[in-house]
Structure formats: C-alpha cells, structure tokens
Amino acid sequence: MNEDAEAAFAAVADELRVRILRELWDADDPLSFSELRERVGVRDSGRFNYHLGELRGRFVEKDEDAGGYDLRFAGRKLVGGLYSGVYTEAAEPVGPQPVDGSCVTCGGDLEAVYEDEHGKVDCTDCEVTLIQTGVPPAFVDGREDDLAAAVDGYVRTTSRSFLDGFCPTCSGPTAGRLEDSEYGPQAVVECERCGASFYGLAAWVGVDHPAVVSFYDDHDRSVRDTELWRLDWLADAAWVDGADGDRATVTVELDGEALRLTVADDLAATAVERTETD
C-alpha cells in the first residue's frame, strides 16, 4: 500500500464518479461521451468531463475503435466490490440453523450461523468450529434457507484458490507449509503480497486432489458433492518422519478400501497408495 492507493480511493470519492462507473458496468457496449453523460444525468458538460477525466487511465478507458468509454479491469473489480456489499451494507445475522450431520470430533449436533460478516458451521456440544470463512453481505442474499451449503461452497472456493497459488483477496502468489496444532498437522497458506492466510487441517489438501476425486468416483460417490463436515478423514492426518523433512499422511477410507496421501512440508501430495482394509 502506498500513495497510489490513496490516489485510487480519492478518484472514486465522489458520488458522480461512482454513477459513471455503474452506468458503464450496466452498458452492453462502450458509451460515447454524450451517451454516458445523458445516462448519468449531468447537464454541465464541463463538470462531467472533469469527473470522467479523474477516472480515466485507472478505472475507465476510451476505446478508440468502438468510439466510446468502457471500464478497465480495475473499474470492474471496484464495481463488483460495490455490488458485493462489502463496502456499503451491514448484513443481518442468519441462524443459528440446524445442520444435517454430526461433529467429526465428538459426534455432536451441528449448526450454521452468519454474523459479523463470517459464515461458519459449529458443533453445539464441543463448540468446535468445523468450517468458517469471511464473506460479504451478497453471499447471504438468497441463501438464507440453506446457509450451511453456501458456507461449504464458499470455503471450498476460497481454500482452493489459496492452495492453487492465488490469493482470493489480492490475487498475489501464495505459499503453503505444515505446522503443528492441537488437532495434528495443519496446513497454513499465506499470500506473499498482502499477507492474507488460510488455516486448515493438513488433510484439506486432499479435498480436490485428483487421486481423491478418482477414488470417490470409483466408489460411485462424489467428494465435491459431500459436505465438508461429512468428510471424517479431514480430522485424521498424522505426522510421519521423513528424510525430506516434515510430512503428514492422510488416509481416506471408503467401502473397505483406503487411499493414502503423503503431504510434504510445502503441502504438495508426494505419494499416493491404495490398499484393502480389514
């Protein structure tokens, strides 16, 4: 963050400029100067030109071939953020709602809650939070009746981005590592640009691993359609000694067969083995 960030926020610190951005967002094609001014509703051409000029270069560009103005990538990201409600809305709490399933730690009942811009699924008995994520108000809109499924999907999307090397907050590069926790090996992924982070049990790296997806398919199931709190193997990662540094093993069991992943310190799955179980 530097003076460029201050200048960017200053450029949109005016209601008229926000209206310009919204009109360009809603337009199907680039708009000419007169079309855009008419849509925004400003009679004074000089005043409108000044505010449009403050947006050009950073949020708005003139498409010479199309003969009109359009949003740049930064402009689209900004308007998308406005629609998310993260800057403008205070969402009402939702829940607690009962969740179909049981706690993988104690077997207790589960509930889903959305409050203070966080969605989560908790155990009502041992009070362990199984999944949690920060989400904008738009996340809740239309999902009030199935909050748990929405939290599940959002957590998967966010964690997948972190593990794939892209920060969902700033799009910067991420790096992962194993750490010890009271629940066993833990996966920690941090953005090298903004410092945003993701914490989950080491087994989390297996949720979208091709071997795990294939393993479920072979047993006529879908790991992607199975709620996270029903994946009991997420809590079963264990430390193993290795010449190449710290490692963890993750074992997935289905219908008398086990799949084992070995997770390296950088969270890469370095070995896959399938065996019969007793």
Which two tokens mark 88? 């403008």
Q: In the structure, what pLDDT confidence band is assigned to residue 243 with cuts at 50, 70 and 90?
A: very low
Predicted local confidence at residue 184, as pLDDT: 83
86-96 residue pLDDT tens: 666 667 778 78
Q: Of 84, 112, 133, which one is at a domain's C-terminal end?
A: 84
If asked whether residues 7 and 70 sit together in one domain, one would say yes
Q: Of 52, 84, 116, which one is at a domain's C-terminal end?
A: 84
Please state which of the ranges 25-29, 112-116, 238-242 shows the lowest mean pLDDT. Answer: 238-242
If asked whether residues 101 and 49 sit together in one domain, one would say no
If asked whether residues 52 and 107 sit together in one domain, one would say no
Q: In the structure, what pLDDT confidence band is assigned to residue 149 with cuts at 50, 70 and 90?
A: confident
If asked whether residues 154 and 209 sit together in one domain, one would say no
If asked whether residues 78 and 100 sit together in one domain, one would say no
Predicted local confidence at residue 189, as pLDDT: 93
If asked whether residues 269 and 227 sit together in one domain, one would say yes
Q: What is the mean pLDDT of the chain?
A: 83
If asked whether residues 7 and 37 sit together in one domain, one would say yes
Q: Would you tell me how many other CB atoms lie within 10 Å of the CB of residue 41? A: 10
Flag whether pLDDT at 229 surpasses 60. Answer: yes
Tell me, yes or no, whether 215 lies in a domain: yes
Tell me, yes or no, whether 180 lies in a domain: no
Surface-to-core class of residue 241, CB atoms within 10 Å of its CB (0-12 exposed, 13-18 middle, 19+ buried) = exposed
Average pLDDT over residues 124-136: 82
Tell me, yes or no, whether 56 lies in a domain: yes
What's the domain range around 157? 94-163
Average pLDDT over residues 235-258: 79
If asked whether residues 112 and 140 sit together in one domain, one would say yes
- CATH code at 53? 1.10.10.10
Flag whether pLDDT at 1 surpasses 90. Answer: no
Q: Of 84, 109, 126, which one is at a domain's C-terminal end?
A: 84
Predicted local confidence at residue 244, as pLDDT: 53
Tell me, yes or no, whether 179 lies in a domain: no
Cβ neighbours for 113, distance < 8 A, ≥ 6 positions apart: 93, 94, 95, 96, 97, 119, 120, 122, 147
Domain count of the fold of the chain: 3
Calculate the CA 210 to chain-centre distance: 20
Tell me, yes or no, whether 44 lies in a domain: yes
Average pLDDT over residues 160-182: 88
Flag whether pLDDT at 7 surpasses 80. Answer: no
Task: Calculate the dihedral angle through the C-alpha atoms of 83, 164, 217, 187, rounding to the nearest 10 degrees.
Answer: -100
Tell me, yes or no, whether 151 lies in a domain: yes
How far is CA 180 from each of CA 130, 219, 246, 265, rounded to the nearest angstrom? 18, 32, 10, 11
